[in-house]
Structure 1
Amino acid sequence: MPEIPPDIPPEQSLITYPSAFPIKVMGAQVEGFVDALVVVARQFDPAFDPSTIERRPSSTGKYLGVTLTITATSREQLDELYRTLSTHPMVKVVL
């Protein structure tokens, strides 16, 4: 399991909260993948708008890269969102 970095004081953070924050997710291009990501995004940002999702299929069409832009309100929210996406069974990579 990855080690959790120590808390960064707000004055040293490179992110100003709240802010639009893009998260890139890759998974198999299968039915329900994007819908599953929307469900997760809305757990952390109830106002998440699915129409803002960017999709990029791989050259073979086997995988789909998705960019979700959520409203980040804290480092804790982002850390938990990354953990939730990383452990989702349909997700291969989160950046």
Structure 2
Amino acid sequence: MSDSSETLFEFPCHFPIKVMGRADCGLDAVVIEIVSRHAPGVDTTAISIRPSRGGKWIAVTLTFEAQSKPQLDAIYRDLSAHEQVVWAL
């Protein structure tokens, strides 16, 4: 199957990835490093960080220009495998 039949997205597209983890682990740097590995030239200013109400957790959202479904799959695979990532959406 081609990429267009496997997803509703039209590539390239702006795509936000949201990652959750502990607030004390430098999660923003982890997200930037992993996404940059698969999408060189990521705008690191396109990141938002939101702490949980209690301050124990942090949500990091990075928006970048995704080129394909295989690229997104690889990013999610690497994020999910990282020990500091609790979940990635």
- Please, what TM-score do these two structures have when normalized by structure 2? 0.90
Percent identity (aligned)? 38
Residue equivalent to 1:81: 75
Aligned residues: 89
Deviations along 1:20-60, whole A, 9 cap, x unmatched? 10011000001422111111010111111111101110000
**What CA distance in whole angstroms lies between the structure 2 residues aligned with 1:84 and 1:9?**
20
Residues 1:67 and 2:40 aligned together = no
Partner Cα separation in structure 1 for residue 27 and residue 53 of structure 2: 18
Aligned partner of residue 51 in structure 1, secondary structure: coil
Flag the structure with larger Rg.
Answer: 1
Distance 1:48 1:90, change over 3 A: same
Give the residue type in structure 2 aligned to 1:71: E
The runs of at least 4 aligned residues of structure 1 exceeding 2 Å deviation read none
Consecutive unaligned residues in structure 2, runs of 5 or more: none
Contact 2:22 2:57 in 1 (8 A): yes
- The CA distance in 2 between the partners of 1:11 and 1:87, in whole Å, is 27
Q: TM-score, normalised by structure 1?
A: 0.85
Q: What SS is found at the alignment partner of 2:45? A: helix
User: Aligned partners of 2:81, 2:6: CA distance in 1, in Å?
Assistant: 29
